[in-house]
Structure 1
Amino acid sequence: MARIGGTCYFKIDGQQLSLTGGIEVPMNRTVNDDIIGLDGSVDRKETHRAPYVKGTFKVPKNFPVGKITSSDEMTITAELANGQVYVLSSAWLHGEANHNAEEGTVDLEFHGEEGDYQ
C-alpha cells in the first residue's frame, strides 16, 4: 500500500520550516463556473486562479519573520508525503501572519507568479 499522506517537507529559499499540518497546494490552474440563463440554458466561464501554498508552521526562536513578511521573490518548495513536489516561484506572503503564541504556530499562505508540480 502506497503512502499518500503524512510527513512532508517545506522550504523557503532553501531554509526548511517545520509544518504541524494543513499543507495545501492547488491542483488546478483554472476554475470553471456555471452561467445559467433565465431560459435554463447552461454555459460555463473559465477564470484563472493564483498559484499558492498554505500551511500551519511551528514558530521557533529563529523563525525567518523578516524574510517571510517582506520578501516578494521567494521560492517555496513543498515536498508532499505522496512523493509529489510543488514549487511556487516569485512568491510573497498573502494576507496576515498571526503568531499563535499559545500553540507556537502560525498559519501562512503564500501566493506567487508561477506554481506547479515538478
Structure 2
Amino acid sequence: MAGIAGIAYVKVSGRQYPLKGNFTVGTTMIERTGIAGQDGFHGFSEMPRVPYIQGDISLAPDVSVEVLAAMTNETVTAELRNGKTYVLREAFTAGTRELNTSEGQVQVRWEGASIDEF
C-alpha cells in the first residue's frame, strides 16, 4: 500500500525550508457557491480564488523572518508524500508572520498567480 500522508517538503526558488507542520496547499482556482431562491435551486456563481501554499516553518538559525516577509515573485514548490508536487508561481508572502516561541515556528502563507499539479 502506498503512503498518502506525512512527509512533505517546501522549497522557495530552490531553497528548502524546514517545514514543521500544518502544511496545506490550496489548489482551487474557482470557488462555486449555490444560489437558491424561494422556489428552489437557481444555479451557482463562480468567483476566482488565489491559490496558496501554507505551513509552519521551524525557526532554525538560518531562517530569517525578514527574508520570508519580503518575498515577492517567487516559485514555491510543495512535494507531498503521495508523490504529488505543486508549483505556485509568481508567489508572495501574504498576511503577517507571528512567531510561536513555545513551538519554535512561524506560519508562512504564500499566495500566487497560478498553481500546477505534477
Could you say what the CA RMSD is over the residues aligned between the two structures, in angstroms?
1.3
Q: In the alignment, which residue of structure 2 is the partner of 1:97?
A: 97
Sequence identity (%): 33
Matched residues in 1 for 2:55 and 2:108: separation? 6
Matched residues in 2 for 1:34 and 1:109: separation? 28
Q: In the alignment, which residue of structure 1 is the partner of 2:34?
A: 34
Cα contact 2:73–2:90 (8 A) shared by 1: yes
Compute the displacement of 1:32 (Å).
1.1
Q: Would you say 1:65 and 2:65 are equivalent positions?
A: yes
- How many pairs does the alignment contain? 118
* TM value normalised by structure 1: 0.92
- 5 Å-filtered alignment, 1:1-118, equals 1-118=1-118
Cα contact 1:68–1:92 (8 A) shared by 2: no
Matched residues in 2 for 1:74 and 1:66: separation? 15
Q: Which runs of 5+ in 1 are unaligned?
A: none
How big is each residue's C-alpha offset from its partner over 1:35-80, in whole Å with a ceiling of 9 and x where there is no partner?
1112223311111110100111111111032331112111111101
Compute the displacement of 1:25 (Å).
0.8
* Greater strand share, structure number: 2
Detail structure 1 runs of 4+ shifted over 6 Å in the superposition: none
* TM value normalised by structure 2: 0.92
